[in-house]
Amino acid sequence: MPSLLSNLKSAREWVTPTLKSTAFLSRGVLTPEEFIAAGDELVFKCPTWTWESGDPSKRKKHLPADKQYLMTRNVPCTARVSSLENVVADNVAMGGDGDDDGDWLVSRVLTAEEQRKREEDALEDEFDILDGEGEVEKKVAQMSIAQSSNAKDDAVAAAAEEEDDEYADMADFEDNDVMEDEAAAISTPSIPSSNNNNNNTTIENENILKVRSYDISITYDKYYQTPRVWLMGYADDNSNRPLTGDEMMEDVISDYAHRTVTVENHPHVSGPHASIHPCQHGAVMKTIVKNLTRDDDEGGGSVSNGNGPSVEMYLFIFLKFVSSMIPTISYDFTMDVSASTKK
């Protein structure tokens, strides 16, 4: 099935004309020349990424022979997405203009501060009551003050008790046989255990953090006129065994697994890969670029030079956006890109 889909998409891409004029700001897409410029900047700023030429028989004529796609190898993935219990999806419409179909959810992990604030707000809503005049009374605030006062009292009492213990009569700790006990302990030979080596080896193995690794590549999709990310995972048991499609989906946010992220054949590398479908990439990138430009106009831009983000910054912004779907795969995009995804 992946082979049939790949053949159909290859044919569709072949008949699609190559984009010639820039539409980076207006549509969030790239020409092949702009993709090369953005890739050169990524390779320059992040040496873990390299250009690859791929199989000569599979090269695309609209790209240079030595710059067919970008690749970074042995990227660590230390945990499964299911272990991130606080992953939430921002309900932000990221699809086409005025069309709720195909909207894009941007998932992220709550910070400790955000989680604490959310819990406080929920508790406050739960305990809202009316006072004698019918006004809403924030009982939580009173509880917090009382709890804070009690905590301070407990802390003072604990400190006083600790101080008393510190100056306790040392005679209580005297032991007439202490020297004899120490001498006996020194003179008693240790009994070797045949299981010591095995136990030590087991402990050492348990202390080794086992991580999956991924090879990540970025190709240029001529039909959608955007970059496309491909993932090939390897097991964490030192066997270098390629992960199955279902195993790779364990490292994808569930909102996207088997829907936005599917298993398909790579256009340059043999074997099925997990691929992030690019159908919404242009719309999402247009929104992010628009907000970056607005932030820059207001003096708060972080990736631009005063005229909005340049096309060379495209892949840094793009990889930041993609990281919301695969948050446990720690690939390098170096630059701190911060922008709202709200329209």
Distance CA 154, CA 161 (A): 11
Q: Which own/partner pairs from 58-64 qualify as long-range (CB within 8 Å, at least 24 positions apart)?
A: 58/267, 58/268, 59/268, 60/220, 60/222, 60/267, 62/18, 62/32, 62/220, 62/222, 63/32, 63/35, 63/36, 63/220, 64/36
Q: Strand pairing of 69-77 and 50-52?
A: antiparallel
Burial of 107 (0-12, 13-18, 19+ CB in 10 A): buried
Q: DSSP 3-state assignment of 125?
A: helix
From 279, 290, 291, 341, the catalytic residue: 279
Two tokens at 263?
Answer: 């298993």
**Residues 38 and 30: beta-carbon distance below 8 Å:** yes
Residue for token digits 């279902």?
246
- In a 10 Å sphere around its CB, with 0-12 CB exposed, 13-18 middle and 19+ buried, how is residue 57 labelled? exposed
279 catalytic? Reply is yes
Active site residues: 279
